């Protein structure tokens, strides 16, 4: 009957089967004319064997109590001994009286009635008794597991919780515990102990997940022992095209305990770290897909390495446009090279500062003025580059300095950054690496090429991070703010699924005002030129990361992309133009003739002026950076006050705000390039 739940009717059935079997054996003995004494002995032996069989069978059942076992044995014994006595008497005397038969039937009826009454009681008490017994057995077995693993000081908080695919142990431990399973080697020790206590259960290290408590009760932890490696399962993403807001939590996957990974991206800077094929790019695509559902967000993407792999599925509809269809891009900015990434970051920096200076203030993201989320793929390539760009405030910055400026100063006006990179330690984030890391509140760590990177990219983790648990693509640790890093599995999404979702996303994604094309003038108006001259040029730039040779400003942009524009303003055929050699020869001849004409027409006054220009000092070259301009002014003036430096810069057509001059002077003094003399309230500055 297997290990099904034993009920009283089932137990009585077992007893009756063995009793009737004994009766049938006596009938066979009678037909063979066996001696009555042997019939009685044989019947008793058969009854004893029947009772033994019933006892052994019920002993192996998890839900059989002692009372139900005795009931079945009593039923077996009464029926067996009764029929043995009756058949023996009938064989000896050869007479079967009605009284004997009636007595046997009455006895059977009494046994059946008593068993039925006991059964009614057992139906009410047996589940409770069985559950209590099962709980004690489970607590004892899993307690032995903890002792075998070397964590005997842990105490189970109640019965282990049995889920569909896991057993969860919730434990408490003393405040001064020397060793905990959250430390390195804890999961391995528990896996070995489970294999020792439950020989039929195969458990690997990646199937033991230890989560520190603390969020619910201090001094607690949860140990999940999985029936199979759920991190290897493919999780289908929920399909939802309904418009949403960036203020809502984002569903990014499932924790190992089965709950939803809900991440907050509003005014949060984050990073995704993992080696190639670890699931990092798939998670970034999932984040972008969810951001495109928000009408109060405009998504910017950039990267100088393999950006096309990230955005190809999002832009597939642009490859299949028919004549007359609108060129609608889901992104507000796409930068596929280092210069483009610098221009994109500088434009974000300028827009954030513009929002900070709005007369009426900035009151949060809306469809009219949406949040800007800048997604940098393979960010370590971008941030480690020394290339610089002149920003709107007159300061030259590289990518690392721009990201630091955005993460530290523009969070309140909804300009945020998400970095995806293969190496996420501070030395891979450029000159401002430590400061950038300090500003990131969302960290997602996938499998790393160097296991030692895990504790560095997810600092202050309260549990030991194991690279072995991240062997399946899409498995990651997530840390939000100061909450402990938790293990989870991200949704798996294919390029075809993204392409199928894009028509709905094009209707929900946010869009910045078109007026910004003229307002954001950093890098010679790079923001207004971001779509290049034509759709073909733009797609080629995204695919190869190489810009066209010349990109003149375009006009008549539609809401997202520039329409195709002719490359030449005149109809002159290229074949009609002179060769390069002819152009150079003609230019040399014209210049020689022009010099001769000037000499023939010169008078003495012109000669004197030409000689004065020749011996005069060359014009002073003014640098572009504010720091270099201030340093040049100090060198030219020798000793000067701050006001004199500001006046000199204005006189030489190189104005710098007074506050910026003060900051740059402080940095130059700190770096030992300028010396400060005089009293604190009115210092003078001179070259060091």
HEC string of 584-610? HHHHHHHHHHHHHHHHHHCCHHHHHHH
And the tokens for 25?
Answer: 């054996």
Q: What is the number of other CB atoms lying within 10 angstroms of the CB of residue 137?
A: 12
| 451 pLDDT higher than 90 | no
Distances (CA, A) of 157 to 168, 227, 380: 11, 21, 45
Output 659 or 505, whichever has higher pLDDT: 505
Distances (CA, A) of 96 to 102, 362, 513: 11, 106, 108
| 104 pLDDT higher than 60 | no
Which whole number is the average pLDDT over 473-494? Answer: 86
And the tokens for 531?
Answer: 């779509």
Output 615 or 357, whichever has higher pLDDT: 357
Q: Residue 311: which pLDDT band, with cuts at 50, 70 and 90? A: very high
Domain 626-687 fold is Arc Repressor Mutant, subunit A (1.10.10)
Residue 567, pLDDT score? 34
Q: Residue 345: which pLDDT band, with cuts at 50, 70 and 90? A: very high
- Tens of pLDDT, residue by residue over 261-309, are 999 999 999 999 999 889 999 999 999 999 999 999 999 999 987 888 9
Please tell me what DSSP assigns to residue 4: P
Question: In this structure, are residues 8 and 119 in contact, taking their beta carbons and an 8 Å threshold?
Answer: yes
Residue 297, pLDDT score? 96
Phi, psi for 675 (deg, rounded to 5) = -105, 145
Which whole number is the average pLDDT over 392-406? Answer: 94
Cα(382)–Cα(255) distance, integer angstroms: 32
| 534 pLDDT higher than 80 | yes
Please tell me what DSSP assigns to residue 320: T
3-class DSSP assignment, residue 463: coil
And the tokens for 23?
Answer: 């009766």
Q: Residue 135: which pLDDT band, with cuts at 50, 70 and 90? A: confident
- Tens of pLDDT, residue by residue over 167-179, are 888 888 887 766 8
CATH class for the region spanning 265-544:
alpha beta
Please tell me what DSSP assigns to residue 206: G
Cα(314)–Cα(539) distance, integer angstroms: 12
In degrees, rounded to 5, the angle at the alpha carbon of residue 180 between the alpha carbons of residues 179 and 185 is 90
- Of 34-48, 290-304, 657-671, the poorest mean pLDDT is in 34-48
And the tokens for 112?
Answer: 């059946």
Which whole number is the average pLDDT over 155-159? Answer: 87
- Of 124-128, 462-466, 490-494, the poorest mean pLDDT is in 124-128
- Tens of pLDDT, residue by residue over 222-233, are 888 888 777 888
Which whole number is the average pLDDT over 11-24? Answer: 57
- Of 105-114, 327-336, 504-513, 556-565, the poorest mean pLDDT is in 556-565
Query: 172 has which bridge partners?
Result: 155, 220
Please tell me the pTM assigned to this model. 0.60
| 343 pLDDT higher than 70 | yes
Output 317 or 461, whichever has higher pLDDT: 317
Q: Residue 424: which pLDDT band, with cuts at 50, 70 and 90? A: confident
Residue 386, pLDDT score? 93
Residue 650, pLDDT score? 84
Q: Any residues with CB less than 8 A from the CB of 611 and at least 6 apart, and which?
A: none
Which whole number is the average pLDDT over 412-418? Answer: 95
- Of 101-110, 574-583, 643-652, the poorest mean pLDDT is in 574-583
Write out the DSSP string of 610-637.
HHHHHHSPPPPPPPSSHHHHHHHHHHHH
Residue 211, pLDDT score? 79
And the tokens for 102?
Answer: 């009636």
Residue 614, pLDDT score? 58
In degrees, rounded to 5, the angle at the alpha carbon of residue 81 between the alpha carbons of residues 75 and 85 is 145
Q: Residue 612: which pLDDT band, with cuts at 50, 70 and 90? A: low
| 7 pLDDT higher than 70 | no
Q: Residue 333: which pLDDT band, with cuts at 50, 70 and 90? A: very high
Question: In this structure, are residues 524 and 346 in contact, taking their beta carbons and an 8 Å threshold?
Answer: no
Q: Which of 113-127, 251-265, 387-401 has the highest mean pLDDT?
A: 387-401
Q: Residue 12: which pLDDT band, with cuts at 50, 70 and 90? A: low
Q: How far apart are the first and last CA of the chain?
A: 97
Question: In this structure, are residues 511 and 559 in contact, taking their beta carbons and an 8 Å threshold?
Answer: yes
| 609 pLDDT higher than 50 | yes
Angle between helices 8-31 and 98-148 (to 10 degrees): 130
Q: Residue 2: which pLDDT band, with cuts at 50, 70 and 90? A: very low
Chain centroid offset of residue 539 CA: 29
3-class DSSP assignment, residue 360: coil
In this structure, is the dihedral angle defined by the CA atoms of residues 607, 609, 612 and 618, taken in order, positive or negative? negative
Please tell me what DSSP assigns to residue 640: B
Cα(42)–Cα(48) distance, integer angstroms: 10
b/e code 83-109 from CB counts within 10 Å (16+ = b): bbebbbbbbeeeeeeeeeeeeeeeebe
Strand 371-377 vs strand 674-677: parallel, antiparallel, or unpaired? unpaired
Domains in the chain: boundaries: 8-137, 149-228, 265-544, 578-615, 626-687
Strand 208-212 vs strand 220-226: parallel, antiparallel, or unpaired? antiparallel
Q: Do 265-544 and 626-687 show the same overall fold?
A: no
| 248 pLDDT higher than 90 | yes
- Tens of pLDDT, residue by residue over 537-593, are 899 999 998 887 654 444 333 444 543 333 333 333 334 444 444 444 555 565 556
The pLDDT mean for the chain works out to 78
And the tokens for 126?
Answer: 């047996």
Helix (H) or strand (E) holding 570: none
Output 589 or 644, whichever has higher pLDDT: 644
| 312 pLDDT higher than 80 | yes
Output 229 or 498, whichever has higher pLDDT: 498
Cα(81)–Cα(76) distance, integer angstroms: 8
Which whole number is the average pLDDT over 622-644? Answer: 84
Distances (CA, A) of 235 to 6, 227, 492, 575: 39, 17, 6, 60
Distances (CA, A) of 295 to 285, 471, 531: 18, 36, 21
In degrees, rounded to 5, the angle at the alpha carbon of residue 375 between the alpha carbons of residues 354 and 554 is 60
Distances (CA, A) of 328 to 91, 332, 535, 593: 102, 10, 10, 56
Helix and strand counts by DSSP (H, E) for the chain = 22, 19
Residue 634, pLDDT score? 87
Cα(435)–Cα(418) distance, integer angstroms: 15
Residue 6, pLDDT score? 46
- Of 89-103, 134-148, 334-348, 585-599, the poorest mean pLDDT is in 585-599
Cα(392)–Cα(523) distance, integer angstroms: 8
Residue 663, pLDDT score? 81
Residue 588, pLDDT score? 55
């Amino acid at each position: 009957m297997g290990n099904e739940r034993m009920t009283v009717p089932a137990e009585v059935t077992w007893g009756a089967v063995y009793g009737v079997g004994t009766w049938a054996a006596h009938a066979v003995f009678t037909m063979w004319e066996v001696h009555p004494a042997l019939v009685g002995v044989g019947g008793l032996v058969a009854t004893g064997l029947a009772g033994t069989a019933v006892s052994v069978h019920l002993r192996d059942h998890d839900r059989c109590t002692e009372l139900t076992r005795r009931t079945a044995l009593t039923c077996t014994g009464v029926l067996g001994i009764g029929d043995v006595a009756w058949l023996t008497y009938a064989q000896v005397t050869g007479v079967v009286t009605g009284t004997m038969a009636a007595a046997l039937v009455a006895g059977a009826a009494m046994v059946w009635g008593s068993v039925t009454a006991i059964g009614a009681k057992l139906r009410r008490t047996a589940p409770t008794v069985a559950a209590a017994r099962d709980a004690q057995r489970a607590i004892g077995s899993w307690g032995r597991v903890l002792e075998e693993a070397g964590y005997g000081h842990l105490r189970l908080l109640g019965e282990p919780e049995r889920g569909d695919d896991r057993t969860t142990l919730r434990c408490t431990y003393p405040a001064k515990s020397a060793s905990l399973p959250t430390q390195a080697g804890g999961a391995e020790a528990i896996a070995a102990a489970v294999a020792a206590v439950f020989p039929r259960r195969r458990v690997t290290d990646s199937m033991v997940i230890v989560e520190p408590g603390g969020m619910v009760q201090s001094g607690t932890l949860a140990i999940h022992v999985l029936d199979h490696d759920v991190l290897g399962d493919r999780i289908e993403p929920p399909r939802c095209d309904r418009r949403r807001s960036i203020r809502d939590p984002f569903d990014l996957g499932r924790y190992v305990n089965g709950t939803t990974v809900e991440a907050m991206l509003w005014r949060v800077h984050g990073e995704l770290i993992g080696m190639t094929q670890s699931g990092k790019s798939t998670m970034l695509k999932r984040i972008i897909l969810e951001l495109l559902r928000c009408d109060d967000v405009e998504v910017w993407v950039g990267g100088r390495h393999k950006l096309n792999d990230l955005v190809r599925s999002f832009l597939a509809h642009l490859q299949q446009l028919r004549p007359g269809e609108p060129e609608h891009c889901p992104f507000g900015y796409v930068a596929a090279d280092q210069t483009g990434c610098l221009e994109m970051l500088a434009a974000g920096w300028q827009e954030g500062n513009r929002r900070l200076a709005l007369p009426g203030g900035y009151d949060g993201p809306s469809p009219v003025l949406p949040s800007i989320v800048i997604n940098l793929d393979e960010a370590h390539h971008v941030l480690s580059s020394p290339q610089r760009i002149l920003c709107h405030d007159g300061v030259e910055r590289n990518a690392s300095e721009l990201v630091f400026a955005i993460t530290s100063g523009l969070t309140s006006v909804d300009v945020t950054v998400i970095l995806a990179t293969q190496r996420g330690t501070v030395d891979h984030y450029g000159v401002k690496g430590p400061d950038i890391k300090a500003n990131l509140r969302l960290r997602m760590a996938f499998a790393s090429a160097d296991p030692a990177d895990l504790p560095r990219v997810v600092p202050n983790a309260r549990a030991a991070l194991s690279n072995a648990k991240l062997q399946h693509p899409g498995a990651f640790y997530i840390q939000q703010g100061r909450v402990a890093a938790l293990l989870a599995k991200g949704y798996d999404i294919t390029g075809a699924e993204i392409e199928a979702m894009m028509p709905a996303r094009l209707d929900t994604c946010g869009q910045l005002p078109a007026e910004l094309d003229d307002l954001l003038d950093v890098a010679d108006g790079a923001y207004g030129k971001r779509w290049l001259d034509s759709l073909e040029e733009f797609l080629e730039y995204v695919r190869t990361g190489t810009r066209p040779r010349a990109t003149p400003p375009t006009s008549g942009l539609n809401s997202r992309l520039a329409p195709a524009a002719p490359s030449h303003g005149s109809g002159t055929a290229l074949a009609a133009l002179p060769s390069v050699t002819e152009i150079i020869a003609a230019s040399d001849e014209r210049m020689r003739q022009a010099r001769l004409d000037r000499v023939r027409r010169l008078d003495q006054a012109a000669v004197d002026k030409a000689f004065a220009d020749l011996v005069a000092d060359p014009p002073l070259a003014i640098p572009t950076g504010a720091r270099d301009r201030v340093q040049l002014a100090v060198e030219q003036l020798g000793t000067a006050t701050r006001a004199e430096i500001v006046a000199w810069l204005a006189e030489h057509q190189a104005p710098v705000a007074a506050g910026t001059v003060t900051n740059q002077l402080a940095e130059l003094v700190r770096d030992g390039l300028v010396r400060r003399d005089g009293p604190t309230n009115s210092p003078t500055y001179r070259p060091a």
